[in-house]
């Protein structure tokens, strides 16, 4: 793993970009990594474009500025692709992970993208089938650790279960659905 891995999450208010950025950070912390997970707070409202960030490192993280050159971009909502450049600041060997029913090749063509690596997974459908709501954040975490190897699937599942059991106390079906979603996206994510 790189010394410092920076991830930018593009979502819309209500899709759980902030939650994903922080859940992934927490999970990475649970396996001994140093982390930061933070949203960009603007005038948020349901449906408006939002950004969130995750930093993961093997060493303590000192910087407290915005992430401007993320190695990884996660797009929670493909309609955001028409709303500006999600690849801004992403280096040539960076990674774009998109929640879509299309293949990486189709997305590359649609985005007229050169360089970088494109991955896709239909996280909304997975969420709908496992959790019952099209909230794509947890499945995208599964896809992300498959691509990056930040941590093992088991470690992610274990930590996610712990965190969600607190958040959704008394609703084990929600926790179970989320864990299934993580596992399915881990298996179904496609790269070029």
Give me the residues that bind another protein (CB under 8 A), please: 22, 25-26, 29-30, 34-39, 41, 61-66, 68
**Rounded to an integer, what distance in angstroms lies between the CA atom of residue 146 and that of residue 110?**
24
Nearer to another protein, 63 or 105 (CB): 63
Least distance CB 65 / another protein (angstroms): 4
Nearer to another protein, 82 or 169 (CB): 169
Under 8 Å CB-to-CB from 82, ≥6 apart: which residues? none
Residues facing residue 173 across a β-bridge: none
Nearer to another protein, 25 or 151 (CB): 25
Q: Which residue from 69, 78, 125 is spatially nearest to 97, judged by alpha carbons?
A: 78
Least distance CB 160 / another protein (angstroms): 13
With contact defined as beta carbons under 8 Å apart, do 155 and 163 qualify?
no
Secondary structure (DSSP) of 34-53: EEEEEE--SS--TTSEEEEE
Least distance CB 159 / another protein (angstroms): 10
Nearer to another protein, 81 or 144 (CB): 144
């Amino acid at each position: 793993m790189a010394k410092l891995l920076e991830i930018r999450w593009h979502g819309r208010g209500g899709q759980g970009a902030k939650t994903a950025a922080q859940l992934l950070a927490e999970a990475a912390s649970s396996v001994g990594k140093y982390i930061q997970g933070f949203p960009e707070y603007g005038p948020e409202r349901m449906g408006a474009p939002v950004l969130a960030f995750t930093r993961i490192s093997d060493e303590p993280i000192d910087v407290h500025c915005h992430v401007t050159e993320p190695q990884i971009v996660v797009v929670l909502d493909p309609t955001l692709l028409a709303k500006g450049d999600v690849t801004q600041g992403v280096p040539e060997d960076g990674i774009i992970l998109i929640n879509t029913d299309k293949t990486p090749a189709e997305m590359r063509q649609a985005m007229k993208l050169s360089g970088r690596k494109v991955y896709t997974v239909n996280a909304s459908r997975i969420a709908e089938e496992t959790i019952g709501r099209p909230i794509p954040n947890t499945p995208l975490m599964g896809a992300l650790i498959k691509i990056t190897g930040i941590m093992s699937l088991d470690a992610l599942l274990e930590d996610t279960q712990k965190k969600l059991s607190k958040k959704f106390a008394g609703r084990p079906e929600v926790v179970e659905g989320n864990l299934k979603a993580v596992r399915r996206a881990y298996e179904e994510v496609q790269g070029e």
